[in-house]
Amino acid sequence: MHIDVILAAPIVFVSIMATASMVLDALKTKENGKTIFLFSIYVLMATFLLSALTFSPSSHFGLVALLSKFGLAPAPETLHVSGMLTVFNGMVGVGGYGCFFDMIFTLGGIMTILAARPFLESEKLEHSEFYTLILFAVAGMMLISHATNMLTLFIGIEVMSVTFYILSGYTRTNEKAVESSLKYFLLGAFATGFLVYGIALIYGATGSMDYATIASATHGDIRFPTLLLVGIGLMIVGLSFKTALFPFHQWAPDVYSGAPTVVTAFMSTAGKAAALAAFMPIIMVSLPAAMSYDGSNKIQMMLAVISALTMLIGNISALVQKDVKRMLAFSSVAHAGYLLMGLVAANPEGRNGIMFYSASYLFMQIGSFIILSVLERSGQTNHSLESFNGLSKKYPILAALMSIFMFSLAGIPPFAGFFGKYYLFTAAIHADFTWLTIVAVVSSIISVYFYIGLIVNMYFKESQEQEHESQPGLAAISLVLSTAGIIILGLLPSVVLSIAQASFGNH
C-alpha cells in the first residue's frame, strides 16, 4: 500500500495539493489570490518533477528502477501491457506514457496559470478557486493518462470535464461565457452517457473493466460479440465528443470562442491531449483484438474516415472565419483529426507521433491563445481578422511570436508542428493508409492559407495606430516557455521522440 502511494506519487501529490489549496483558501479570511497562485505554481512544478522521476519503469533510470533494485517495487519485467506498472490493485498505472502526458498537462497548467493571473486581475475576478480548479483539472487529466481500468478512466474524465464546465463559465456575468458553459455542460454530460454505456457493454461482453483483462478476454471466445462491438462504438462516440471529432465537433468552436481566452487555451490543448491519452490505450492496448473480431477492420476504417472528415471540416470551416479566436477553435478541431491519424495507424510510430504532436500542439496552440488574451487586455477586445492589421507595427514582439505559432501550426519547418505532422503522416503510410495521408496533406495545405493569412494581416496590411506598449505581465513567461518549446521540439525532435519511445520500453 505505502509503496503504491510512492509509485503513484505525481497523481497522489497533485490531488492532495488541489484539496489542500481549497482548504488553505478557506482558512484565510481575506481575498488571497496571490498565495494560491504561488502555491499552485509550485505544486505543478513539483508534480512535473515527480512525473519526470517516476518516468519509464522499463528503462533503467528513474524512481521505479531504483525501488525495484532494492526489492521494494516489482521488477521491470512484470510490466502491464501498455508499458506501465500497475498499483492500487490494478487501478492506476505508473510510469510509462502516462508520465509523458503528465509533463504535458503540468506544463499546460503552469503556462495557463501564469497567463491567467494578469487576466483575472484586470477583470477583477481573481478568486483563488480558479487556480484550484486548474489543479483539479490537471489531477483529472493525470488520472486519465494513468488509467489501466475503465473505472479510473471514467473518474478522470469526469473530474476533468466538471472542472472545465465551471472554468468555461468562469466570467459568469459575461453572456458568452455562460452560454458556452451551458453548451459544454449539456453536450459533455450527454457524451458521458454514451461513454458509460459503452463501458457497461464492454464490461458485460468481456467480464472485466481492466484494460489487460479485456485485452486477453477478447482474444478468446467473446460471450456477446455484438454487444462488444456496440460497446466499442459507443465508447468511441463518447470519447469523440470529448476530443471534438467530426460528427461531434459542433460544440467546440462555440465553447472555445465563448469561454475566457486563457481557459480556452487550457481546454483546447491539455484537455485534447488528455482525451487522446484516454483513446490511446483503449484502441491500441485493450481492444485491438476485439476491433478486428470478425476479420475485418471496420472500426479502424471508421476511425480513418472520422479522422479525414475532422481535418477537412475543421480546416475548411476555419477558412471562412472572420474571428481569430473562432478560427483557432476550428483549427483545434482539425488538429484533433491529425492526432487521430496516429490512432488509425495503430503502430508504434503512430503512438510516438501522437505523443510528440500532443506536446508540440500544446506549445503552439496555448501560445497563440495567450497572445489573444494579452491583446484583449491591451484593449483589442474583438478578435476580428481586421483588428490584426498592422499588428507588427503596434506590438512587434507579439506579432513575431504569433507568426512563429502560426508557422508551427501550419506545419512549416523548422518548427515543432512540422515534425509532429511528419511523424503522424509516415505512421499512417506505414499502416497502409496512404489515402488518409493524402487527405491530411491536402487539408494542411488548406490550413496554410488562413494561418499565413493572419501573418499577412499582421505584417503587410496597414493600420493607422502607432506602436503601443503591450502589457503581457506574467503571460510573458508563458509565451517564452511555449516559444522555447516549439523551437526545441523543432530543432531536436529526435530527443523528445526517444523520450516518448522510452516510455513504452520494449513494448
Partner 1 sequence: MIDSYIPLIIMVSVGFLFGLSNIVLAQFLGPRKNKTKVKLEPYECGIEPTTSARERFSIKFYMTAMLFILFDIEIVFMYPWAIQFKELGMVGFIAMNLFMILLFAGFIYVIKKGALQWR
Partner 2 sequence: MLQTIPLEFYLILSAIMFMLGVIGVIVRRNAIVIFMSIEMMLNAVNLTLVSFSQFMGDSAGQIFVFFVMAVAAAEAAVGLAIVLALFRKKQTVYVDEVNVLKW
> Which parts of this chain interact with partner 1 (CB under 8 A)?
1, 19-20, 22-23, 25-27
Residue with Cβ nearer partner 1 (23 or 484): 23
Shortest Cβ distance from residue 120 to partner 2 (Å)?
18
Which residue from 22, 162, 290, 328 is in contact with partner 2, where contact means CB under 8 A?
Answer: 162
Shortest Cβ distance from residue 154 to partner 2 (Å)?
7
Residue with Cβ nearer partner 2 (193 or 413): 193
Which residue from 197, 293, 422, 459 is in contact with partner 2, where contact means CB under 8 A?
Answer: 197
Which residue from 55, 100, 165, 450 is in contact with partner 2, where contact means CB under 8 A?
Answer: 165
Measured between alpha carbons, how far is 501 from 97 in angstroms, rounded to an integer? 9
Residue with Cβ nearer partner 2 (181 or 300): 181
Q: Which one of the spans 182-190, 354-362, 456-464, 474-482 is the region binding partner 2 (CB under 8 A)?
A: 182-190
Contact 320, 307 (CB under 8 A): no
Check binding of 199 to partner 2 (CB under 8 A).
yes
Which residue from 29, 173, 381, 506 is in contact with partner 2, where contact means CB under 8 A?
Answer: 173
Q: Residue 49, SS3?
A: helix
Residue with Cβ nearer partner 1 (24 or 452): 24
Q: 93: part of which helix (H) or strand (E)? A: strand 92-94
- Measured from the Cβ of residue 438, the count of other Cβ atoms closer than 10 Å reads 14
Which residue from 67, 196, 309, 446 is in contact with partner 2, where contact means CB under 8 A?
Answer: 196
Partnered with residue 93 across adjacent β-strands are: 86
Measured between alpha carbons, how far is 378 from 383 in angstroms, rounded to an integer? 12
Per partner kind, with CB cut-offs from 5 to 8 A, the member of partner 2, partner 1, none near residue 192 is partner 2
Which residue from 15, 112, 132, 208 is in contact with partner 2, where contact means CB under 8 A?
Answer: 208
Check binding of 204 to partner 2 (CB under 8 A).
yes
Residues 6+ apart with CB under 8 A from 302: 236
Quote the cell numbers at residue 120: 483575472
Residue with Cβ nearer partner 2 (154 or 418): 154
Per partner kind, with CB cut-offs from 5 to 8 A, the member of partner 2, partner 1, none near residue 293 is none
Q: Scanning the structure block, which residue is given the C-alpha cell 481492466?
A: 210
Residues 6+ apart with CB under 8 A from 181: 165, 166, 168, 169, 255, 258, 259
**Residue 122's closest CA among 475, 386, 498?**
475
Shortest Cβ distance from residue 171 to partner 2 (Å)?
10
Instruction: Please report, as residue ranges, which positions from 221 to 260 form the binding site for partner 2 (by CB under 8 A).
Output: 227, 250, 253-254, 257-258
Shortest Cβ distance from residue 138 to partner 2 (Å)?
18
Helix axes 324-345, 434-460, angle to 10 degrees: 160
Measured between alpha carbons, how far is 131 from 42 in angstroms, rounded to an integer? 12
Which residue from 158, 240, 241, 421 is in contact with partner 2, where contact means CB under 8 A?
Answer: 158
Measured between alpha carbons, how far is 347 from 353 in angstroms, rounded to an integer? 10
**Residue 254's closest CA among 246, 262, 245, 264?**
264
DSSP string, 85-137: EEETTTTEEESHHHHHHHHHHHHHHHHHHHHHHHHHHHHT---THHHHHHHHH
Q: What is the DSSP letter of 300?
A: H
Check binding of 123 to partner 2 (CB under 8 A).
no
Q: What percentage of the chain's residues is helix, strand, coil (to nearest 5)?
A: 75, 0, 20
Check binding of 331 to partner 2 (CB under 8 A).
no
Rule CB under 8 A: which residues touch partner 2?
A: 150-151, 154-155, 158, 162, 165-166, 169, 172-173, 175-176, 178-183, 185-186, 189-190, 192-193, 196-197, 199-201, 203-204, 207-209, 227, 250, 253-254, 257-258
